[in-house]
Amino acid sequence: MNKVYMIVGLGRSGTTIIGKKLAEHLGGFFLGELIYLSSRGLENQSLCGCGEYIKDCEVWSPIISKLSEAEKATLKCAEEDLRIKNVFRFKNQSTYRDLFKRVHSLCGDRRLVDSSKIFPYAFMFRKDPNYVFIHVVRDPVQVTSSMLSKKYIPELGTEGYLHNGGLLRTPLRWSVVNLLVKYLLPIRYTVFYEDFIEHPEKLLAKIAESTPNALSGHSLAGNPSRFGDQTIKPQPQKKKFTWFEHFSIRALSWPYRIITRRYL
């Protein structure tokens, strides 16, 4: 089986752009968020990164056609079960792990980058040496600002919220998710988004040697930055916070910041 580079961390931390650039660097295949294969690829008319509907995409269509009806049904259950709230009462963990490993193996002979990033999903593969875990972390103020801002969603042709995490819920989740990832997964590299924006090539070279011939543009789900070519550049903070809002975000994100001595 080929190596799978598993991106983990909280949404809006730059996981999509980093996953995409990592796959290009590796000469690999950027899958996008494979955990959503059922809802985005099998059930709804969602767009692949190439602009085609996933079921019509030249890359995803043959992969989907190799899945049995029973496997498709299991993928649907996995999407619901593998939520952070279910982390301590994992159901069918070995079934889901085996099925996703099979899907990974159907995705060809390139190194794969899976930006599903959901902790319980990544946790299933923690003991498998074929999986390389990359933890992506971004300033909690920026993550909360992004979470509270609308994005243009090409699939809908309109602006909307990808997820609206809430002003207090987002920094709290930021601490919980990043601490779970740090202590319960065998993280090979931690990439701070701000460092990546400044020196992308340097950070990618630390992870692996560059290889040509990536399979680009066929990501399954995730931030709209997966569409088209994206330049790596600092993103302005979209939503400005009052002093009290800023204080609340800093207070709720305190545990991870203190432990790692970042974003102090």
Give the binding-site size for Zn ion (rule: CB under 5 A).
4
CB of 213 to Zn ion, least distance (A): 17
215 makes contact with Zn ion (CB under 5 A): no
Q: At what angle do helices 15-26 and 200-207 cross, to 10 degrees?
A: 60
- If the CB atoms of residues 132 and 220 are measured against Zn ion, the closer one turns out to be 220
- If the CB atoms of residues 46 and 105 are measured against Zn ion, the closer one turns out to be 46
Question: Which x/- pattern over 52-91 shows residues binding Zn ion (rule: CB under 5 A)?
Answer: -----x----------------------------------
- If the CB atoms of residues 10 and 48 are measured against Zn ion, the closer one turns out to be 48
Cβ contact 217:60 at 8 Å: no
122 makes contact with Zn ion (CB under 5 A): no
- If the CB atoms of residues 123 and 227 are measured against Zn ion, the closer one turns out to be 227
Q: How far is CA 189 from CA 94, 206, 208, 234, in A?
A: 26, 9, 11, 21
- If the CB atoms of residues 30 and 133 are measured against Zn ion, the closer one turns out to be 30
CB of 32 to Zn ion, least distance (A): 10
Cβ contact 136:8 at 8 Å: yes
Rounded Cα–Cα distance for residues 228 and 206 (Å): 26
50 makes contact with Zn ion (CB under 5 A): yes
Residue 175 token pair:
């601490």
149-182 CB burial, b ≥16 within 10 A, e <16: eeeebeeeeeeeebeebebeebbbbbbbbbebbb
Query: What torsion do the CA atoms of 145, 117, 214, 66 make, to the nearest 10 degrees?
Result: -130
CB of 102 to Zn ion, least distance (A): 20
φ, ψ (nearest 5 deg) of residue 180: -60, -45
CB of 243 to Zn ion, least distance (A): 46
CB of 86 to Zn ion, least distance (A): 30
First to last CA, the chain: 41
- If the CB atoms of residues 104 and 218 are measured against Zn ion, the closer one turns out to be 218
CB of 50 to Zn ion, least distance (A): 3
- If the CB atoms of residues 114 and 139 are measured against Zn ion, the closer one turns out to be 114
User: Which listed range, 33-41, 75-83, 212-220, 243-251, lies at the site for Zn ion (CB under 5 A)?
Assistant: 212-220
- If the CB atoms of residues 63 and 134 are measured against Zn ion, the closer one turns out to be 63
Look up tokens 């059922």; give the residue.
38
CB of 228 to Zn ion, least distance (A): 13
**Of 110, 132, 66, 116, whose CA–CA distance to 215 is shortest?**
110
Cβ contact 36:43 at 8 Å: no
Applying CB under 5 A, which of residues 138, 218, 226, 257 lies at the interface with Zn ion?
218
Cβ contact 82:121 at 8 Å: yes
48 makes contact with Zn ion (CB under 5 A): yes
CB of 48 to Zn ion, least distance (A): 3
List contacts with Zn ion (CB under 5 A): 48, 50, 57, 218
